[in-house]
Amino acid sequence: MRRAVFACLASLCASSTIASPATDKVIANIQAPAGFKLEVFADNVPGARSMALGQKGTLFVGTRKDTVYAVSATSGSSEPPIVRVVANKLNMPNGVAFRDGALYVAEINRILRFDGIESSLDSIEPAKLVREDLPKDRHHGWRYIAFGPDGKLYVPIGSPCNVCNEPNYGVIARMNADGSGHEIFARGVRNTVGFTWHPTTKQLWFTDNGRDYLGDDVPPCELNLATRAGLDFGFPYCHGKDIKDPEFGNLGDCAKITPPAQLLGAHVAPLGVKFYTGNAFPQVYRGQIFIAEHGSWNRSKKNGYRISRIKLKGNEVIDYQPFVVGFKDGEETLGRPVDLLVMEDGSMLISDDQAGAIYRLTYQEGRG
């Protein structure tokens, strides 16, 4: 029998939005294309990272701390959203996913499921245990999770180091919703904290964070495309398209890996990635990819701290450009974008784990 995991009662943990000086600085500094506007959706979500949307419109937010939140807003209301604690005292519950009325939460070493959660936000039932045999390493141990078009739950196992050769790490795994049928989908992936599926082809696109300590501009971070299961993306022996690792380069051949679909900036730390599937943005943005670049910690000059846009023609990347910038001011970090979520009204939500906030990006023709 699965053992229960108890959650904080949301009725005792609810709070209303309180203005944040941190988000004021971000909003004042943001630059976006004409017609786009970034506003604060909720700014009392400490450490806000991965996001998942419930069937009834509840926004669930994971963190690298110990808490998972539920953010509830009334459509068309001027009242601020209500932020509730779903569960606390967890082990870095970064990953959240929603399916068939249930919220799935990924800690470092286990996956939990909260059944019927949107009907009981003020009296949350104990979670059920889906699986508890994931590696316990904290280095790259926080997990991004999502359900694929095949109905399986995809769970990455990041490298437990900067760069090392450890079997069964550096992979993207998948399993059935009940935790059974665990299998490796892709290898050679250092640390992905964001993936999504093409809305038409259903193929998996994912970001990957490049290794550290080879210099300011080497190696690049990556956007990758997995057209099928069983591909090898090169880690730890090959970085980018053809950069052999100085220590592990003899373990494989760069010419035989699946190369990145796009090389991103070095150390930009790409995390959340989504196709724009809404209708509110101009036609030119529809079906294109957006990436949350969390930002560098290991460059002499900071890089990233922005939302980037990837323009596609079929599966070919034809352009990679900054889209929303201003999460840093010079070398001062104001915020760090983590995840993206396209809403039913076509707006885009952006989480920021430094400011503890969720922003909403909207478009209105003629807006300056």
In this structure, is residue 2 part of a structural domain?
no
User: How many domains, in total, are found in the chain?
Assistant: 1
In this structure, is residue 39 part of a structural domain?
yes
Residue 75 is predicted with a pLDDT of 66
Q: How far apart are CA 245 and CA 249, in angstroms?
A: 4
In this structure, is residue 3 part of a structural domain?
no
Is the pLDDT at 176 greater than 70? The verdict is yes
Q: Average pLDDT for residues 200-221, to the nearest whole number? A: 97
Q: How far apart are CA 269 and CA 280, in angstroms?
A: 28
* Of 80-84, 172-176, 247-251, minimum mean pLDDT range: 80-84
In this structure, is residue 328 part of a structural domain?
yes
In this structure, is residue 5 part of a structural domain?
no
Residue 194 is predicted with a pLDDT of 98
Residue 366 is predicted with a pLDDT of 82
In this structure, is residue 200 part of a structural domain?
yes
CATH number of residue 328's parent domain:
2.120.10.30
Is the pLDDT at 313 greater than 60? The verdict is yes
Residue 77 is predicted with a pLDDT of 66
Q: Average pLDDT for residues 204-227, to the nearest whole number? A: 98
Residue 368 is predicted with a pLDDT of 66
Is the pLDDT at 50 greater than 90? The verdict is yes
Q: What is the pTM of this model?
A: 0.94
Is the pLDDT at 16 greater than 90? The verdict is no
Greater confidence, 317 or 2? 317
pLDDT in tens, 81-120: 999 999 999 999 999 999 999 999 999 999 999 999 999 9
Indicate the pLDDT class of residue 15, thresholds 50, 70 and 90: very low
Q: Average pLDDT for residues 123-130, to the nearest whole number? A: 94
Contact at 8 Å (CB) between 353 and 49? yes
pLDDT in tens, 138-161: 999 999 999 999 999 999 999 999
> How are beta strands 68-72 and 59-63 bridged, if at all?
antiparallel
How much of the chain exceeds pLDDT 90, in percent? 90
Residue 74 is predicted with a pLDDT of 72
* Bridge partners of residue 325, in order along the sequence: 31, 306
Q: Average pLDDT for residues 261-288, to the nearest whole number? A: 97
Q: How far apart are CA 358 and CA 205, in angstroms?
A: 23
In this structure, is residue 4 part of a structural domain?
no
Q: What is the average pLDDT value for the chain, to the nearest integer?
A: 93
Contact at 8 Å (CB) between 257 and 233? yes
Residue 213 is predicted with a pLDDT of 96
Is the pLDDT at 76 greater than 70? The verdict is no
Token pair belonging to 209: 């964070």
Instruction: Name the residue range of residue 191's domain.
Output: 14-363
Q: How far apart are CA 208 and CA 210, in angstroms?
A: 6
Q: Which residue, 305, 285, 303, is CA-closest to 294?
A: 305
In this structure, is residue 351 part of a structural domain?
yes
Rounded alpha-carbon distances, angstroms, from residue 334 to 27, 52, 232, 260, 341 = 10, 24, 36, 30, 21
Residue 80 is predicted with a pLDDT of 85
